[in-house]
Structure 1
Amino acid sequence: MAVYILSNRKIIRHKGEKIDSFSNDEYSIPNFRIAKCDFDNYKEPTAAAKKKKDYTNRNILNYKLFSEPEKQGYQDVFNVLLNEKGIKKSTLTANNLGGTQKMFYELYKNMSSTKDRSDVLIFIHGYAYDFDDELKAIIDLKKIFIDNSSSPIEHILFISWPASSSIVPLTYFDDKASSINSGASLMRLFYFYTQFLKDIFSNRDLAPCNQRIHIMAHSMGNRVLQSMLYSLKKENILRVIDQVLLLNSDVSYKVFDESENSFNKLPLLANRVSIYLNRKDAILGISQFTKNILTPRLGKNGPSNIDQFKDIVSIIDCTFIENDILNSFKFEFGNHWGYLSSSQAQNDIFQNLYGVDRNLITNRTKNNENTFTIIS
């Protein structure tokens, strides 16, 4: 099990500390830095601990930033792997690797060492998250997707982008700008990943791990994904993702149109795309009527036209799910966080991640060829 933070947040060093940390500042740097979360010594905080002013950063969850790589490319990774297999001698060890080299090395080692499902979930969070909020979200995601035997996920790559810490309406536009910048950084990371895969597949001594990688984007996290897709050229896209799950997406309902040139690329990238929507989503309703010039949101209204993608893209209506896990006013009124608040939504997501045929996923009714409603 491993959980990584991939962040383009500012790097700071707190007073009296000797290690670098991610900042809560609403400021992005051009490239992602990578950190690995330490759950070995994690203890669930008490209510009193959560109220303390020092319940921030590493007091929430400890993590260690990877060093930057000594040189670009992945030849050093292969030298280390081949040396460990006794195929090619090298003085390099895993300690010489940094950044994406170290993360890809660790994931490949873990995912190729088991015959069981050892999937990776790339998660992109939404609007109004500071870094402390992100650390709390990581803890929740680990409980839902790694600790749960109903889920095939064993590793999480949490995309940390510097959203605003306030829900004041004007910060929404700051987050839109930040999501665009972060999408460009994510695009570079995607190219690193595809290059690593090409190198692995071209090396006969290194077998593919045969595990699956999924992307899950919530709310405005879909705008980060959209920004990445804008930058990707269709001829450079490889189908390296199994499932893409778009949760309560705060993007235009027209994103799959050819003129948008963004989500219409997802069917080239993934085996299956699932749009989870809630027609009672009050947060997206506010987004539509106050911030997006009355443009219907994908996560509330569904896509305008996906006829050409109906074999790959599914629409899952979560309007009638129950918030039986979390049912505070925020969740009951907002209807925006079903993946956290509803066991029905989670059960549907788990089956999707396992790759169950969309017509065989339980507790659904089929509305038409590619549209379903989750039922009690």
Structure 2
Amino acid sequence: MDYVFTVRRVSKGAFKDEPGSTYFLKVPEDADDISPDQKVGAAGAGMPDKWAKEVLAAARSGENPRTVQPKGDILIYVHGFNTPTTTMLKRHRLIRAGLEREGFEGVVVSFDWPSASSALNYLEDRSDAKQTARLLVDAGISAFAARQTPDCEINLHILAHSMGAYVVREAFDDADDRPAVASTSWSVSQILFVSGDVSASSMSDGNPKSSSLYRHCVRLTNYSNPFDAALSLSNIKRVGVSPRVGRIGLPVNRPDKAVNVDTGAYYERNEDRFRDIPNASHTWYFFDQNFYTDVFQTLRGDVDRNRISTRAGTRSELELHVA
């Protein structure tokens, strides 16, 4: 079973590319797309207890040997622009399978926002991303946090691809601007940006656009690829857009909890393997097991960021390589 919560509008029994109510879905293994028929509870009514209990149960993976309390992990995947629901679900399953091969025993949950299936829809997707971002926190993160109990240690993580990084940044910033949310206790453990479509400068230490993001996480890891053609400033849809963090990496003056992993040399060495992947320089991560090894070790947090087996270099010059 795959777990998804979506904020797409429903029309004629199908999800569309415009913002709508929140639906919490249980997607059967044999389904190749999401459908309103898969919903649990009423649309727009908040996270149903039944759905939440199933996700939290799936997230559990034994006991913490130090506290002897149940422990586990929830990884929320936030997709990027130009991502129809079928593609979102395929990538959700690629992430799940890739991590499970590494020994991940938690659960992957997708936050599906209304992205169209056209690269020409960049500006409209960005507008929809900003409009629906707050629901990532309201309907997802804070709802899970409210169900945490002292005797169960469930770590919440986020993996955001492309414009999904923008969704996450805006969601965290908006949450801190609303007293009702800001006054509650909510946070995540690991945030991972992959091909992040936000400006690199906005991720600097003290920048108001990302201060909430850093405040509410234990660590942020940014995977950048200097060969990422989708994030190139020469791309016509990006005229006037500043350099992106998924292409040039995090700025030097970043908080200590922020880590940059340059994947450029690794991508260049393995480019032939990715040749048949659409938009490969931007999406190859989903199809690479070595990347999932890095993600798995990052989520576990047992090894210092500088000693993860798939990385070479030091904190300021980390690069992805074969473990």
Residue 156 of structure 2, aligned match among 194, 213, 232: 213
Does 2:10 align with 1:67?
no
Tell me, which stretches of 5 or more residues in structure 1 are unaligned? 15-21, 43-57, 73-97, 202-206
Contact 2:190 2:220 in 1 (8 A): yes
In structure 2, the residue matched to 1:17 is none
CA distance in 2, matches of 1:295, 1:183: 21
What is the RMSD computed on CA atoms of the aligned residues? 2.9
Query: Is the alpha carbon distance of 1:349 and 1:191 closer, same or farther for their aligned partners in structure 2, counting shifts above 3 Å?
Result: closer
1:271 aligns with 2:218: yes
- Whole-Å Cα distance in 1 between the matches of residues 159 and 321 of structure 2? 22
2:51 pairs, out of 88, 94, 103, with 103
Contact 2:58-2:106 at 8 Å conserved across structures: no
2:104 matches 1:187: no
* Distance in 1 separating the partners of 2:295 and 2:124: 30
Looking at structure 2, the residues matched to 362 and 221 of structure 1 have their Cα atoms a distance apart, in angstroms, of 27
Q: Secondary structure at the match of 1:351?
A: helix
- CA 1:325–1:243: 2 relative to 1, 3 Å: farther
Deviation at 1:337, TM superposition (A): 1.9
Q: Distance in 2 between matches of 1:294 and 1:60?
A: 33
Give the Cα–Cα distance (whole angstroms) in 2 for the partners of residues 319 and 278 of structure 1.
5
Q: 1:249 to 1:112 in 2, by over 3 A?
A: closer
- Say if 2:34 and 2:89, in contact at 8 Å, map to a contact too: yes
Q: Aligned residue for 1:281? A: 228
Corresponding position: 1:251 with 2:198? yes
- Give me the whole-angstrom Cα distance separating, in 2, the residues matched to 1:133 and 1:223: 19
> What residue identity is the alignment partner of 1:38?
P
Q: Which among 275, 287, 299 is matched to residue 353 of structure 1?
A: 299
2:68 alignment partner in structure 1: none
Displacement, 1:121? Answer: 0.9
Alpha-carbon spacing, 1:287–1:216, altered in 2? closer, same or farther (3 Å): farther
Partner AA of 1:219 in structure 2? S
1:340 is aligned to 2:286: yes
Task: Indicate the SS of the match to 1:261.
Answer: coil
Corresponding residue of 1:134: 88
1:32 counterpart letter in structure 2: T
Letter paired with 2:260: I
Identity of aligned residues (%): 20
State the alpha-carbon separation in 1 of the partners of residues 250 and 204 from structure 2. 9
Gaps of 5+ in 2: 65-70
Among 164, 167, 170, the alignment partner of 1:224 is 167
1:144 and 1:122 map into 2 onto residues whose CA distance is 15
> Alignment length, in residue pairs?
307
| Cα distance change, pair 28–260 in 1 and its aligned pair in 2 (3 A) | farther
For the pair 1:178 / 2:128, whether they are aligned, the reply is yes
How much does 1:370 deviate? 4.1
Question: Aligned pair 1:162/2:114, yes or no?
Answer: yes
Matched to 2:27, the amino acid is C
CA distance in structure 1 between the partners assigned to 2:252 and 2:271 by the alignment:
33
For 2:204 and 2:226, how far apart are their aligned partners in 1? 21
Q: 1:191 to 1:175 in 2, by over 3 A?
A: same
Displacement of 1:130 after TM fit?
Answer: 1.4
Q: What do residues 268-302 of structure 1 show as CA deviations (whole Å, max 9, x unaligned)?
A: 22221101101111111157664251411011112
Q: Which amino acid aligns with 1:191?
A: S
Q: C-alpha displacement at 1:261, in angstroms? A: 2.3
CA separation of 1:317 and 1:136: change in aligned 2, threshold 3 A: same
TM-score, length-scaled by structure 2: 0.83
Distance in 2 between residues matched to 1:255 and 1:153, nearest whole Å? 34
Give the Cα–Cα distance (whole angstroms) in 1 for the partners of residues 293 and 137 of structure 2. 30
TM-score (norm 1): 0.72
Indicate yes or no: 2:24 matched with 1:34.
yes
The answer to whether the 8 A contact 1:184-1:228 is kept is yes
- Mapped partners of 2:309, 2:28: distance in 1: 35
- The 5-angstrom pairing of residues 308-327 of structure 1 reads 309-310=255-256, 312-322=257-267, 323=270, 327=274
Aligned CA distance change for structure 1 residues 126 and 325 (closer, same or farther; 3 Å)? farther
Higher CA-based Rg: 1
Aligned to 1:372: 318
Change (3 A) 1:282 1:111: closer
Task: Check the 8 A contact 1:249/1:298 in 2, yes or no.
Answer: yes
Query: After alignment, is 338-347 or 178-187 more displaced?
Result: 338-347
